[in-house]
Amino acid sequence: MKLHVEAVELAEKRRREWEIECQEYRRAERERIRLKAADESKQALKDIIDKWGEAERIKRFFDQAEAALSEHAVEQHSELNSRLEAARSVIGQNEALNAMRSWKTPDELFTEMIKGSYWEFD
């Protein structure tokens, strides 16, 4: 009888230890995911900022090119303007604002990552 009681107590002790280990692992995993979400969100935002900078540089080019048209003879305006429009169509629109719409904050990304995790979190 005493061995049975000791075995039950030992099993209960091991179960509690296992629960504590699982809780600690979940806490550590949650923190790892939170840090990863913050890093990924920050990098995505930096990429958007880079796109924005590039878009602004391109916009300045076209603005300056249009301003320079006035320095050319009137008969060249039409041809140069057509070429500028063709160049604009090749470059396309500023996608930085569209990228901002799809950018996720660290909290939004964290929530997505937690949902996809094997572990259940509170």
Q: What is the pLDDT of residues 61-78, one digit of tens each?
A: 999 998 888 887 777 888
Residue 86: φ, ψ to 5°:
-65, -40
The length of the chain in residues reads 122
Residue 27 lies in a domain: yes
| Residue at 82 is within a domain | yes
pLDDT band at 33 (very low <50, low <70, confident <90, very high): very high
- Closest among 46, 50, 59, 49 to 91, alpha carbons compared: 59
Instruction: Give the per-residue pLDDT at 19.
Output: 96
Furthest CA-CA distance within the chain? 109
**How far is the C-alpha of 31 from the C-alpha of 59, rounded, in Å?**
42
Supply the range of the domain harboring residue 21. 2-115
Model confidence band, residue 106 (pLDDT cutoffs 50, 70, 90): very high
In a domain? residue 55: yes
Tell me the one-letter amino acid at 96: A
> In Å, how far are 25, 30, 103 from 106, measured between CA atoms?
21, 13, 10
At residue 122, the 3 state secondary structure works out as coil
pLDDT of residue 71: 82
Cα(119)–Cα(122) distance, integer angstroms: 10
Residue, of 55 and 43, whose pLDDT is higher: 43
- 119 has pLDDT over 70: no
Please indicate, yes or no, if residue 10 is contained in any of the structural domains.
Answer: yes
Q: For the chain, how many structural domains are there in total?
A: 1
Q: Would you state the pLDDT for residue 96?
A: 82
What is the spatial distance between Cα 18 and Cα 27, in angstroms, rounded to a whole number?
14
In a domain, 122, yes or no: no
